[in-house]
A and B are shown apart, each in its own frame.
Chain A
Amino acid sequence: QQPVQSPQAVILREGEDAVINCSSSKALYSVHWYRQKHGEAPVFLMILLKGGEQKGHDKISASFNEKKQQSSLYLTASQLSYSGTYFCGTEQLAGNMLTFGGGTRLMVKP
């Protein structure tokens, strides 16, 4: 079953923060986050494994609450280059297929 992402779209000014949420109705082994720019392939951002953890690099970080089967992606001090569609992908078992959420369109304006 497809994970649910929210919001569906968000518009930011440069320097503002955003949070994108991903929720699943099933127990998860991992949550992936990808960013896709228009006309390009999705690009891997980070993976979070069960056990509940938080990861981050630069100004993009994410958390995974295993008990709630939820993950959040945090974008701080957004830059124009952050624009694109963000997808979470969930994995129920290690090495199993990824099921992607509906995506969140993020637009950062000057």
Chain B
Amino acid sequence: SAVISQKPSRDICQRGTSLTIQCQVDSQVTMMFWYRQQPGQSLTLIATANQGSEATYESGFVIDKFPISRPNLTFSTLTVSNMSPEDSSIYLCSVEDPRSPVPRNYGYTFGSGTRLTVV
């Protein structure tokens, strides 16, 4: 399966500042997904990032707050802008196994996550 390097692993930030999270994949993938996971909760999709086009955001998430870059097929960044304590969460990137879709026997691989605390 793909190997994802996600940085930083954790950070403590002041409210009103921004943090950029990076994900590097060891193989080329078409789509990269960004999720948010509140402690003890499920994973909520923020946006889907395709190379060469604007990211597609889910309901409740906007580009001004969570700008995403996807400069090539192995790399993406998510920025959490103008942070408030409500943004404290774990942020994860994910990719579909490049061996998919034929045969579709493989799932998604996740980065190790970025634990963000806003104070």
Contacts and interface: CB of A to CB of B under 8 A. Distances in A.
Interface string A24-52: 00000010101000001111111101000
A84 interface: no
B84 interface: no
Interface string B79-119: 00000000000001000110001001111111111000000
Provide the main secondary structure of the chain A interface.
Answer: strand
Contacts of A98: 33, 45, 108
Contacts of B110: 41-43
Interface residues of B, number: 23
Contacts of B72: none
B90 to A, nearest CB: 9
Interface of A: 2, 30, 32, 34, 40-47, 49, 87, 89, 94-95, 97-103
Interface of B: 1, 31, 33, 41-45, 48, 92, 96-97, 101, 104-113
16 contacts: A2-B42, A41-B111, A42-B43, A42-B92, A42-B110, A44-B106, A44-B109, A45-B107, A47-B107, A94-B104, A95-B96, A100-B43, A100-B44, A102-B42, A103-B41, A103-B42
